[in-house]
């Protein structure tokens, strides 16, 4: 049946895949299929997995044994992992089935800044199938578009500075542990070496904004540090106190150079929040005029899932290949249906 509502497929029925399922159900967007790796979700009705409270007639399929040949859908939403390399089987299956792919993994925002060879492969595959590949989520309006808008009024530009604090307890214990909360500084230094690859992805925020402003990135430098408080902190999710001087999160410091001489830097903290703190993202533009933008975020889990959902129509409308959210125009709400 013809419909003006996007027909979607969900690949990865975890926390954010289930958010997308609930939004789609609420708006009456057809959910054509849902996939997950083998485990307890497979074989269940998505309505039950996503907490909709009733069956919706979509059974979660094992992504490795399912057939993708007859999928009649517009967009495949991938909410699986942050890495392009790990998500590649999902991208291949959906792109080859003729679906536009919209991914929540953070490497998908700016694939060329993370893995150029894989980005080229995804771009070629999307073009071959005449569909798009893009990545969205909370960074889209709060970090990427806010940076683009801050630089908009400039007639002269020297440097961009981005700072932010994100509550590492907002979306669950996994993120909190990932940022090193609860470790001693020595343990942090040992463990973070393994996480460095994904933490490095944060450098793509200033890179992406510079690229969107027309600059050519030539070099990046990234380092990570533990964030510590000088007083003990009770961490609800760990159900214990983190002693003063132990790690409550990660600080990422990135510096980007361009061929044109304009630079950008970012100091990003993913850490425990004290009473009264609010997540915020700040851009200061050193140019003429000097401009500043501060974005505050609440309800981050809903925020990031809604950003992904609200980009579905843009992903369908864009030309084939990798399309960055910076090329799609500012995000538009779906509140009116
Ligand atoms: N773009 C952004 O700004 C942003 C913001 C927040 C989070 N994220 C990212 O969004 C992604 C999803 O987060 P989440 O909290 O929804 O994670 P999650 O709850 O762990 O859900 C991931 C789902 O994907 C499934 N899965 C994992 N690996 C798979 C594979 N190889 N093949 C098929 N299915 C697989 C998992 O299966 P089982 O658990 O059943 O095994 C799970 O159902 C993460 O990478 C997260 O970091 C992005």
> What is residue 196's predicted lDDT score, i.e. its pLDDT?
61
- Looking from the CA of residue 36, the nearest atom of ligand 1 is 34
CA 87 / ligand 1 centre spacing (Å): 10
Pick the range with the lowest mean pLDDT from 63-72, 85-94, 167-176: 167-176
Q: What is the pLDDT of residue 13?
A: 98
Q: How far is the CA of 39 from the centre of ligand 1 (A)?
A: 14
* Whether pLDDT at 1 is above 60: no
Distance separating alpha carbons of residues 59 and 41, to the nearest angstrom: 9
% helix, strand, coil for the chain, step of 5: 35, 30, 35
Instruction: Return the DSSP state at 113.
Output: G
**Best probe residue, ligand 1, of 38, 64, 65, 104 (max atoms within 8 Å of C-beta):** 104
Q: How far is the CA of 36 from the centre of ligand 1 (A)?
A: 10
Name all domains of the chain by residue range, CATH numbers in brackets.
8-136+311-327 (3.40.50.720), 140-296 (3.30.360)
Q: Which of 34, 80, 142, 268 to mutate to test the pocket of ligand 1 (most atoms within 8 A of CB)?
A: 80
Q: Whose CA is nearest to atom 44 of ligand 1?
A: 81
Count CB neighbours of 102 within 10 A: 30
Query: Residue 39 CA: which ligand 1 atom is closest?
Result: 40
The token pair at 295 is: 């974005």
Extract the runs of DSSP E, i.e. beta strands, from the chain.
8-11, 31-36, 60-62, 75-78, 100-103, 132-135, 156-167, 217-228, 233-235, 240-242, 247-258, 263-271, 279-288, 291-297, 321-322
Please write the tens of the pLDDT for every residue from 234-292: 999 999 999 999 999 999 999 999 999 999 999 999 999 999 999 999 999 999 999 99
Residue appearing with tokens 């961009």: 160
Between 210 and 298, whose confidence is greater?
Answer: 210
Using CB distances shorter than 6 Å, the residues near ligand 1 are 12-17, 36-37, 39, 41, 63, 79-82, 86, 104-106, 137-139, 171, 304
- Give residue-wise pLDDT tens across range 217-240: 999 999 999 999 999 999 999 999
What is the 131 CA–ligand 1 centroid distance (Å)? 23
Partners of 162 in the β-ladder: 266, 283
Among 250, 257, 252, which residue's Cα sits nearest to residue 160?
257
How far is residue 90's CA from residue 84's CA, in Å, rounded to a whole number? 10
Minimum-distance ligand 1 atom for the alpha carbon of 13: 43
Residue 19 CB coordination number (10 Å): 22
pTM equals 0.95
Check whether 307 has a pLDDT greater than 70: yes
Task: Quote the CA–CA distance of 227 and 313 in Å, as a whole number.
Answer: 39
Distance 15 CA to ligand 1 centre (A): 7
Looking at residue 202, the DSSP 8-state letter turns out to be G
**d(C-alpha 223, C-alpha 192), whole Å:** 11
Give nearest CA residue, ligand 1 atom 39: 14
């Amino acid at each position: 049946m013809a419909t003006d509502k996007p027909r979607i497929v969900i690949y990865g029925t975890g926390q954010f895949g289930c958010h997308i399922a609930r939004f789609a159900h609420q708006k009456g967007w057809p959910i054509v299929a849902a996939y997950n790796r083998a485990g307890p979700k497979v074989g269940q009705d998505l309505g039950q997995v996503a907490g909709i409270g009733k069956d919706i007639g979509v059974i979660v399929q094992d992504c490795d044994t399912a057939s993708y040949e007859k999928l009649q859908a517009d967009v495949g939403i991938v909410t699986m992992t942050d890495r392009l390399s790990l998500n590649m089987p999902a991208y291949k299956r959906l792109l080859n089935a003729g679906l536009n792919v919209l991914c929540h993994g953070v490497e998908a925002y700016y694939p060329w800044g993370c893995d150029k060879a894989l980005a080229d492969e995804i771009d070629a595959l999307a073009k071959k199938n005449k569909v798009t590949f893009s990545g969205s989520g909370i960074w889209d309006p709060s970090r990427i578009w806010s940076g683009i808008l801050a630089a908009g009024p400039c007639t002269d530009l020297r440097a961009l500075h981005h700072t932010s604090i994100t509550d590492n307890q907002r979306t669950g214990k996994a993120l909190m542990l990932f940022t090193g909360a609860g470790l001693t500084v020595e343990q942090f230094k040992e463990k973070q070496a393994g996480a460095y690859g994904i933490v490095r992805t944060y450098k793509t925020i200033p890179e992406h904004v510079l690229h969107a402003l027309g600059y050519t990135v030539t070099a990046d430098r990234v380092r990570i540090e533990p964030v510590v408080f000088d007083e003990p902190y009770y961490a609800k999710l760990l159900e214990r106190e983190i002693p003063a001087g132990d790690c409550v999160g990660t600080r990422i410091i990135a510096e980007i150079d361009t061929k044109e001489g304009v630079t950008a830097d970012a100091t990003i903290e993913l850490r425990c929040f004290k009473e009264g703190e609010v997540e915020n993202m700040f851009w200061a533009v050193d140019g003429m005029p000097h401009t500043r933008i501060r974005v505050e975020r609440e309800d981050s889990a809903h925020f990031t899932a809604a950003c992904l959902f609200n980009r579905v129509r843009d992903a369908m409308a864009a030309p084939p290949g990798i399309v960055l959210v910076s090329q799609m125009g500012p995000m538009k709400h779906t509140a009116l249906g």
